Structure 1
């Protein structure tokens, strides 16, 4: 393939990631020559040359931004449903295309909102009316608007409100120039003024260690637009002073620059959860002219809260393309529960419960997401009269209301596509992927259910609590913090008298950055049994206290007890860094952690410290399925030929792996959850220098973790106590009972003890949801025998036609799972079949297998059979005659009720077949006329194969 073709294929593949919603909202769309160069390992200048040729050929659009970006033209045209003019193959910015081909074609959407995005905000004319009025005033205040500070509790929607301010301004912007909206979270660089300054204002080459090139700051990128500072209260005094100078003069200077100041025009929007007057410098506040308080969820009206609930549920309906059935009890719970995280937590709770309920769609065949009282997690006393009256007005004495995109009576506002886009993870597609992968594994339904429930828990924990992602060593070394870490390393070398090698230094760099990230978020790892560690490592513990005091001085933060334990274990590893003794490698230690590189980084840290490779790691990116992760784990165990496993996992959602490994591979497994660096070091040390039988290791880790909080007891997932075969018939329960008795009399003592047959009326099992509700939680349906199939997942169905066919008994034996018992009892399948057939008569079967007049349909089918045998000179056995009569009676009933024929592909299309086909068709013409049906080609083919015993 030519180089140009390779490059064009790559830009086509990348462009497929762009969707219609991103055309509305993304400020930068396209791919640079540098990114394509790295993907294809082709020199950047060559890529750039070929892209320019492709642009002239009209295959890609060139956006002359910095850097220059390229997009495949045909994909964008498909998204826009239009043809892009040749003059626009090269544009100054993507905003030109957006305004020319997208905004004008969607002006009716803006008209629906009265050209005001605020109108789509719940409470815009009630509790948020004053806030919106202030925001509009600040946006349009001449000449360049006013700076705004948004206040309010966490989760009230300050970020979304800021985005609406930006979009409101965008609608009325008279110029063709794109308006930037730059987001920055001040907590990311809390207590690091030097790094903060570099991020905000940029820096020059050599300004600090690692500053190898000049770099523009975020202020420069926000020039001419909006700069949103989230958690602005995290700015230290020095940071506030620098911003005050910018707001006061509109000028700034890069870090390390002695040149003249640069000028910018920026609208600042800050967001804080703290008291304004006690948090900010008065000089800084003087430049923030407008303070807007966003009310908490408690301060919103009941009607607004209900609208939010319905809106968030409708968003989930859009994502799943399913109706949501909301019960009165669950709606009352959402209306009364105190969500400390306000609207954000309310939305998260709704998403979480919908994801849990979605499991019933996948595993129980529900055709909608049902949110009933089983999802209410607290006891509710329905005393709120205002809420009861409000809900009564929409429920009208019904148990459920239906929420979907068509039901506009409940929620009439237009759904904001931007909000859907902001949900970074589509939980439902991930769950579907998980389910399909797990179904391919040798797992029971109960195991799959547990794994999927754990996956949901992990997804939400990972998404909403932003679990720390490991950094690369290179990135760490490039930051100014490196000098401070080097001081701490120097102190460690001074105290221990040991020189740390590069591996130990790099590992310590990574740990300090992880430690600082946790401290900024207010999180600290669990504290282990310190007395236990002090007894074993007294020398290291005393030295660690000296080092931790020094760390507190250098980093200007308190050093928690968990860090003291880490330093103790780290020093022990340093002292024991001599080559390790030969050990028993039959015991494997495998670490599994969520994130792209988390497990790899942690395992490398411990392996490098102890000069070993004993730790194996499996990274689990958020979009990687449990099934894929489990397969990687099984492959490692098989390849390494481990006899025992210590499995370390970062979240509780992976704890089920231990029991699955024990069940599938017969390998004894110890599972430790919520693993972190401190515990990992001790596990590694213990396995290398003091490996004991797994039961003793378990006791040791229990003591270390202060009890059972981290050790997962190996207990089986609840096994199904009983296997159930369901019999049913559309004619009623009497018929179903007869089939049940027939099967029980045929097999008698061959049936296993944990097996039973349940007869059910057809209307009670005509959907998978109803079917699975007929059994207990600890039971499993192994099959259904009935007149008409039910659309069930993974549950075999035997029609009555099949049951009395040549292979019917074999199917039944296979489903019940008694083939071994038949052999042990001296019987064989032929004997069982003979017993089964001899225990029934044609008349008794027809009597309870059809809704038609049994005598009438039986005579008509026998007449058709006689005609066929006469015309074709066909002699048939009694067994084939019985099968033919039962099949055809059931066939007529099925076509009448289902109103459609069977879909069946004939395997015989010879001239002889065509002749016999005509005879069969004519013989059934009277039945077709009497019952107003028409036998399809498939039905006739099936009868032919039955008569000539050509069924597979």
Structure 2
């Protein structure tokens, strides 16, 4: 606390060393304090943090803040910054708002503005299609149109966490009274109370057990509920409910439940979007990384094509993961340069092969070639909007970790090649472990079958059983996913010659 109160502030490394914690944890906690407005940080590198309200001084190169850059941004992006319509319509900043997302946007606006209290709705779409991000956009739209008070928060609840325990589900949704169960030594409110006069986002709503769906639709009908351990519906709340699912709601939700959700907003697969939207998505996601490191990032045409071709099952979530990986490696390879220029050599093999995949989709490749220039440059602070976050937002600054670790390894006398090898491995571990926690682990054959032929999965299962029985060795379940992907990739390479 004393260090953050000094004018020069502290770096991530200094905080981590002082508290004897990992740098990644220090970065995560510092950035959370910045979000809460309790700490401020510099735009220059290395990033320094200081307590909010302290006039910090820095010996580093001065970089104007986002707010100070406003006149320049207004010249570059007049449609985004000037005039009231864009302030009231956050959806105008969503790529495809007048294209593949037009119907979804119109449905969302109708659900929010429908008098007197709006309509409950369901967002459906494949893994990584942006359902959580879209729910945040709906919430921001509701606030900017004075439908929800400015001081309210979006309450997020993941139904999968309580899928197999209806009693625990009820206690979290509606709260409980003292003595409701062993250990309930005081009354506790639930998330329905927290979402009163606001919006509740029920993620993975298909994981709600039938009892849970019945609890929710009774509340939808009457606006009243009881806490666990109570008799009678003694409490009231006014809550807008938005659910999200990757599954077909007609086969996973009760008819009595779906009838109470009049609007079903379907988000498109990434592959179904027009080429111009795919390029814009790459540009926006790279822009987020440029803002993090406060440097211009330049991509060659082939890099953009490889990124687009590398997306298979994961849609925008997978694209974001790949962009983060590519930008992190580009930053590592060009750390000493003012501009990060990324070409095919900076790409890992898995993403570079997206160029080959795209080569087999000739119509899409032709459309991309029409609109792409040899290079695209993305500057920091250009693609900012009021949508707070999405579920694929890293909770720490990956570039701080790269910079700190590179400096440590260099001080230990390692050459640049060895440094790059160590940190590249580290980047992969960071991103893969994070995305594994966000639905990108192959935890069901259904997800696997979206991008691997069912015959391959069947053969792999036979191999799994054969090896398990003959060697009496029980492989982890992810053997099926890893081996299926390996065989599928092998067959594709044979097919491509």
Deviation at 1:285, TM superposition (A): 1.3
Counterpart CA distance in 2 for 1:177 and 1:114 is 14
Task: List aligned pairs for 1:404-553, cutoff 5 A.
Answer: 404-405=379-380, 414=384, 418-419=388-389, 422-466=393-437
Residues 1:219 and 2:189 aligned together: no
* 2:421 counterpart SS class: helix
Cα pair 1:335 1:387 within 8 Å, conserved: no
2:278: which partner in 1?
A: 305
Deviation at 1:366, TM superposition (A): 8.1
Cα pair 1:21 1:418 within 8 Å, conserved: no
Residues 1:126 and 2:99 aligned together: yes
| Partner deviation per Cα, 1:81-105 (whole Å, 9 max, x = no partner) | 9xxxxxxxxxxxxxxxxxxxxxxxx
* 1:369 counterpart SS class: strand
Instruction: Rate the CA distance shift 1:369–1:211 in 2: closer, same or farther, 3 A.
Output: farther
Cα pair 2:298 2:377 within 8 Å, conserved: yes
Residues 1:178 and 2:146 aligned together: no
Cα pair 2:131 2:244 within 8 Å, conserved: yes
1:329: which partner in 2?
A: 302
* 1:312 counterpart SS class: helix
Counterpart CA distance in 1 for 2:269 and 2:288 is 22
2:341: which partner in 1?
A: 369
Residues 1:151 and 2:124 aligned together: yes
- Match 1:290 to one of 258, 263, 284: 263
Instruction: Rate the CA distance shift 1:187–1:112 in 2: closer, same or farther, 3 A.
Output: same
- Match 2:231 to one of 245, 258, 261: 258
Cα pair 2:468 2:475 within 8 Å, conserved: no
| Partner deviation per Cα, 1:419-472 (whole Å, 9 max, x = no partner) | 49943221111100111111222444443222111101111112111299xxxx
* 1:324 counterpart SS class: strand
Deviation at 1:390, TM superposition (A): 4.3
Instruction: Rate the CA distance shift 1:214–1:123 in 2: closer, same or farther, 3 A.
Output: same
| Partner deviation per Cα, 1:863-889 (whole Å, 9 max, x = no partner) | xxxxxxxxxxxxxxxxxxxxxxxxxxx
Task: List aligned pairs for 1:52-71, cutoff 5 A.
Answer: none
2:18: which partner in 1?
A: none
* 1:418 counterpart SS class: coil
Counterpart CA distance in 2 for 1:177 and 1:393 is 44
Instruction: Rate the CA distance shift 1:175–1:110 in 2: closer, same or farther, 3 A.
Output: farther
1:233: which partner in 2?
A: 206
- Match 1:271 to one of 244, 267, 278: 244
Counterpart CA distance in 2 for 1:371 and 1:419 is 29
Counterpart CA distance in 1 for 2:402 and 2:217 is 48
Residues 1:382 and 2:359 aligned together: yes
Counterpart CA distance in 2 for 1:417 and 1:452 is 31
Instruction: Rate the CA distance shift 1:183–1:395 in 2: closer, same or farther, 3 A.
Output: closer
Counterpart CA distance in 2 for 1:285 and 1:345 is 29
Instruction: Rate the CA distance shift 1:307–1:234 in 2: closer, same or farther, 3 A.
Output: same
Instruction: Rate the CA distance shift 1:17–1:419 in 2: closer, same or farther, 3 A.
Output: closer
Counterpart CA distance in 2 for 1:297 and 1:263 is 41
Counterpart CA distance in 1 for 2:146 and 2:385 is 24
Task: List aligned pairs for 1:656-695, cutoff 5 A.
Answer: none
Instruction: Rate the CA distance shift 1:213–1:237 in 2: closer, same or farther, 3 A.
Output: same
2:376: which partner in 1?
A: 401
* 1:150 counterpart SS class: strand
RMSD across aligned positions (CA):
4.1
* 2:88 counterpart SS class: coil
1:74: which partner in 2?
A: 53
Instruction: Rate the CA distance shift 1:221–1:467 in 2: closer, same or farther, 3 A.
Output: closer
| Partner deviation per Cα, 1:45-68 (whole Å, 9 max, x = no partner) | xxxxxxxxxxxxxxxxxxxxxxxx
Counterpart CA distance in 1 for 2:256 and 2:203 is 20
Compute the TM-score of the two structures, normalised by the length of structure 1: 0.38
* 1:113 counterpart SS class: helix
Instruction: Rate the CA distance shift 1:467–1:393 in 2: closer, same or farther, 3 A.
Output: closer
1:500: which partner in 2?
A: none
Counterpart CA distance in 2 for 1:338 and 1:263 is 45
Instruction: Rate the CA distance shift 1:530–1:268 in 2: closer, same or farther, 3 A.
Output: same
Counterpart CA distance in 1 for 2:396 and 2:54 is 24
2:321: which partner in 1?
A: 348
Cα pair 2:113 2:147 within 8 Å, conserved: no
| Partner deviation per Cα, 1:788-843 (whole Å, 9 max, x = no partner) | xxxxxxxxxxxxxxxxxxxxxxxxxxxxxxxxxxxxxxxxxxxxxxxxxxxxxxxx
Bigger mean CA deviation after superposition, 218-227 or 385-394: 385-394
* 2:376 counterpart SS class: strand
* 1:74 counterpart SS class: coil
Compute the TM-score of the two structures, normalised by the length of structure 2: 0.70
The structure, 1 or 2, with the larger RCO (C-alpha pairs under 8 Å, 6+ apart) is: 2
Cα pair 2:333 2:420 within 8 Å, conserved: no
Instruction: Rate the CA distance shift 1:419–1:203 in 2: closer, same or farther, 3 A.
Output: closer
Counterpart CA distance in 2 for 1:413 and 1:193 is 42
Task: List aligned pairs for 1:814-893, cutoff 5 A.
Answer: none
Cα pair 2:295 2:340 within 8 Å, conserved: yes
Counterpart CA distance in 2 for 1:429 and 1:241 is 47
Q: Gaps (5+ residues) in structure 1? A: 24-28, 31-71, 82-106, 407-411, 469-517, 535-559, 564-673, 675-952
Counterpart CA distance in 1 for 2:144 and 2:399 is 34
Residues 1:248 and 2:221 aligned together: yes
Instruction: Rate the CA distance shift 1:166–1:322 in 2: closer, same or farther, 3 A.
Output: same
Q: Gaps (5+ residues) in structure 2? A: 16-28, 40-50, 58-64, 68-79, 449-463, 480-497
Deviation at 1:299, TM superposition (A): 1.9
Cα pair 1:184 1:228 within 8 Å, conserved: yes
Deviation at 1:258, TM superposition (A): 2.7
Counterpart CA distance in 2 for 1:76 and 1:191 is 52
